[in-house]
Amino acid sequence: MSLDEYREFHRRSVEEREEFWEGEARRIDWHRPFERVLDYSEPPFSRWFVGGELNLCHNMLDRHLEERGEQDALVYHSSETEEKHAYTYREVHREVNALAAALREIGVGKGDRVVIYLPMTPKAVFSMMACVRLGAIHSVVFGGFAAGSLAKRIDDARPKAMITADAGMRGGNVVRYKPLVDEALNSATHPPEHVVILNRNLDREMSLTEGRDLDYAQLVDRHRGASVPCEWVESSHPSYILYTSGTTGTPKGVQRDTGGYAVALAASMDHIFDTQAGETFFCASDVGWVVGHSYIVYAPLLCGMTTLVYEGLPVRPDAGVWWRLVEEHGVSTMFTSPTAIRALKKHDPRFMQEPDTSTLRKLFLAGEPLDEPTSRWASESLGVSVRDNYWQTETGWPILSSMNPGLEDEPVVAGSAGFPCAGYDLRLMHEETGRPVTEPGERGILAIQAPLPPGCMSTVWGDDERFVQTYFGDFPGGELYSTFDWATRSEDGRYFIMGRSDDVINVAGHRLGTREIEEAISSHPDVAEVAAVGVKDEYKGQEVFAYVIAKTTEEAGPELEEAVKRTVSQKLGKIARPKRVFFVEALPKTRSGKMLRRSIQALAESRDPGDLSTLEDPQALESLKATTPID
């Protein structure tokens, strides 16, 4: 395979899309064959595999039972509770059937919504599969999410039922879910009729509300041995709603279809992640995020793999916990975020080197731009190929990847998210003129020419107009989906993501990407992590402020501050040199690992930091407040 072969592969996927995706659809069992591959009669809406009927749960479990019934489907490890358990495909099938029967008993059926608010346990995965088995639409909300934000999502989805737990754990601390649920339901306008509660015995003060709350174990035990037939749904039937993090006002629910999603995920596991049935896939995310939906739950099981479900932090009990799991379970492919790897970078490399990770072929990173120092450190420490990829909650699977057919032997270019994945017809657009950007290295907004490929969001839940206005309203013609991300493209077709279009700093007329500045600072050997923001300046428009986590507290001081400024000047020029460098202990991030640069910028400018419902560590912002004296 070669770069030319990749280009031919990608060309077919966008120029001969119906023939291409008809072939990919053979990876899925169809109860009723589809009549049309694509209906694009109402731009920019796309309907894939029209008329076809299928069921996601059947494709994940039932069709594998004869060949893989005794193979592990799900392996669970919690470094928080020390619980471990492996479930074969047959055992998962039994658990899901029992839960589906229980949900059916309380009135859940095709088209009903079920809010799932659970920690990282097997029951979260079973709950998602039980919903799609019934043709119900699940909406997973990250466990521990604030009550007010949970209430907004409940009111938007209007669920028939909710599945939650007494509590979760993070970093050894118990996070009580039930009080948050009670508060959310008390303030919600459309609370569910029933709440199914998984009692993990972590909150001894938990009490059930009579007539509404049901005990998960008791409910499911009544249905042990039940056999619930799969509800066959048309390809465009919604599989789930997933609300984007950090929303304000009315939540924005990404609605996903069933058939297009199944085909896209199955194809991605072959074309992008290079996996095989029977292997073990470890995605170190959470089911509350799109990465967890796609690559903890759906994709590995669609493809007959074993999925590793992990509850805990990458550094607890120590920074070797992930790599011991790789050794113990023979993990072949791993997927996590650059943020997690940067956290591990602060620890002794022996934690990565001592376990036998020889089964691991590739480490995939996504969620934010991957800087060259982090990529190199991970590759050298593990002795594996590190592959970047880029996508969004809205797309459901990668837009760009450095792994695609034909790219296996191509050199990995650090800093590049790679080439377009199958079906993505990409454009770079000038932000102000709306015209295509064509010169290599010239920056533009990354856009996708509709029709969007299979697996991408079909609309905003309950609001088609918002879908059109939000994603297709920025450029002429109304058929270009905006990712809202800056990017450049090299002469050979590789893309480099520069960060959100609102993360650009304008210093005296010079537009600087925060990603460029952060990568320059990260190259200093004494820097563990950094966030750069633009702060209003009376004369220059904006000035660069850098917030740095030093590898040791002893290194944080005037000497390192000057070294950081000097490094940026050398790599990017004096115009990018930070005006201020602040040393902090933590940086504010969402639970999915995304840096809250807008909130950092707001604090630096003495403004309200905005919606903090997705903040992982509230103390991180308090640290910034104390560290940032505004002149």
Cis peptide before 451 (omega within 30 of 0): yes
pLDDT tens-digit map of 351-403: 988 999 999 999 999 877 777 888 888 888 898 989 999 999 999 999 999 99
Q: 606 vs 581, which has greater pLDDT?
A: 581
Looking at the structure, do residues 475 and 513 belong to the same domain, yes or no?
no
The CATH number covering residue 571 comes to 3.30.300.30
In a domain, 257, yes or no: yes
Which residues are within 8 A (CB) of 397 and not within 5 positions of it... i.e. 6 or more apart? 264, 265, 268, 272, 294, 299, 391, 421, 455
pLDDT grade for 106, boundaries at 50, 70 and 90: very high
Instruction: Find the angle CA(502)-CA(507)-CA(513) to the nearest 5 degrees.
Output: 40
298 DSSP 8-state letter: I
Looking at the structure, do residues 147 and 268 belong to the same domain, yes or no?
yes
Determine the length of the chain.
Answer: 631
In a domain, 260, yes or no: yes
The fraction of the chain above a pLDDT of 70, given in percent, is 95
Span 188-194, average pLDDT: 97
Span 609-615, average pLDDT: 66
pLDDT grade for 1, boundaries at 50, 70 and 90: low
For the CA atoms of 450, 399, 268, 361, the dihedral, rounded to the nearest 10 degrees, stands at 170
Alpha helices, DSSP H, located in 251-390: 259-271, 290-292, 299-302, 321-329, 338-345, 350-353, 372-382
pLDDT tens-digit map of 431-467: 878 899 989 999 999 999 999 999 999 999 999 999 9
Instruction: List the structure tokens of 336.
Output: 């996590």
pLDDT tens-digit map of 319-353: 999 999 999 999 999 999 888 898 898 888 889 88
Give the pLDDT confidence score for residue 206 in this predicted structure. Answer: 92
Report d(CA 166, CA 271) in Å as an integer: 40
Looking at the structure, do residues 183 and 213 belong to the same domain, yes or no?
yes
Looking at the structure, do residues 36 and 128 belong to the same domain, yes or no?
yes
Q: Which helix (H) or strand (E) holds 147?
A: helix 147-157
Written as one letter, the residue type at 505 is I
Report d(CA 214, CA 101) in Å as an integer: 14
Instruction: List the structure tokens of 124.
Output: 């979260």
Alpha helices, DSSP H, located in 89-224: 89-105, 122-134, 147-157, 178-187, 216-221
Considering 486, 517, 544, which residue would you say is the last residue of a domain?
486
Give the pLDDT confidence score for residue 372 in this predicted structure. Answer: 81
Looking at the structure, do residues 156 and 266 belong to the same domain, yes or no?
yes
Report d(CA 435, CA 430) in Å as an integer: 5
Looking at the structure, do residues 547 and 405 belong to the same domain, yes or no?
no
The fraction of the chain above a pLDDT of 90, given in percent, is 71
Instruction: Find the angle CA(542)-CA(544)-CA(545) to the nearest 5 degrees.
Output: 120
Looking at the structure, do residues 257 and 402 belong to the same domain, yes or no?
yes
Tokens 């450190």 belong to 377
In a domain, 69, yes or no: yes
Give yes or no for residue 256 having a pLDDT over 80.
yes
| Stated pTM of the model | 0.85
Give the pLDDT confidence score for residue 200 in this predicted structure. Answer: 97
Tell me how far the alpha carbon of residue 94 is from its chain's centroid. Answer: 28
In a domain, 81, yes or no: yes
Give the pLDDT confidence score for residue 246 in this predicted structure. Answer: 36
pLDDT grade for 113, boundaries at 50, 70 and 90: very high
Give yes or no for residue 602 having a pLDDT over 60.
yes
Looking at the structure, do residues 478 and 537 belong to the same domain, yes or no?
no
The CATH number covering residue 278 comes to 3.40.50.12780
* 399 Rama class: left (phi>0) / alpha (psi -120 to 50) / beta: alpha
Written as one letter, the residue type at 460 is V
Cis peptide before 33 (omega within 30 of 0): no
pLDDT tens-digit map of 27-77: 999 999 999 999 999 999 999 999 999 999 999 999 999 999 999 999 999
Written as one letter, the residue type at 286 is D
Neighbours of 608 (CB within 10 A): 9
Cβ atoms of 137 and 238 closer than 8 Å: yes
Neighbours of 176 (CB within 10 A): 16
Give yes or no for residue 247 having a pLDDT over 50.
no
Considering 486, 516, 541, which residue would you say is the last residue of a domain?
486
Instruction: List the structure tokens of 592.
Output: 């999915």
pLDDT grade for 594, boundaries at 50, 70 and 90: confident
pLDDT grade for 248, boundaries at 50, 70 and 90: very low
Q: Which helix (H) or strand (E) holds 400?
A: strand 400-401
In a domain, 290, yes or no: yes
Looking at the structure, do residues 520 and 395 belong to the same domain, yes or no?
no
Looking at the structure, do residues 165 and 215 belong to the same domain, yes or no?
yes
Looking at the structure, do residues 545 and 620 belong to the same domain, yes or no?
yes
In a domain, 605, yes or no: yes
First to last CA, the chain: 58
Give how many domains the chain has, as a whole number.
2
In a domain, 366, yes or no: no
Closest CA to 552 of 347, 306, 292, 359: 347
User: In which domain, by residue range, is 261 found?
Assistant: 3-312+391-486
Report d(CA 587, CA 595) in Å as an integer: 7
DSSP assignment of 178-196 equals: HHHHHHHHHH-SS--SEEE
Cβ atoms of 401 and 426 closer than 8 Å: no
Looking at the structure, do residues 301 and 427 belong to the same domain, yes or no?
yes
pLDDT tens-digit map of 406-434: 998 888 887 899 999 999 999 999 987 88
Cβ atoms of 497 and 486 closer than 8 Å: yes
Report d(CA 204, CA 166) in Å as an integer: 9
Work out the mean pLDDT of the chain and round it to a whole number: 91
In a domain, 466, yes or no: yes
pLDDT tens-digit map of 484-494: 888 999 999 99
Pairing mode of beta strands 385-390, 173-176: unpaired
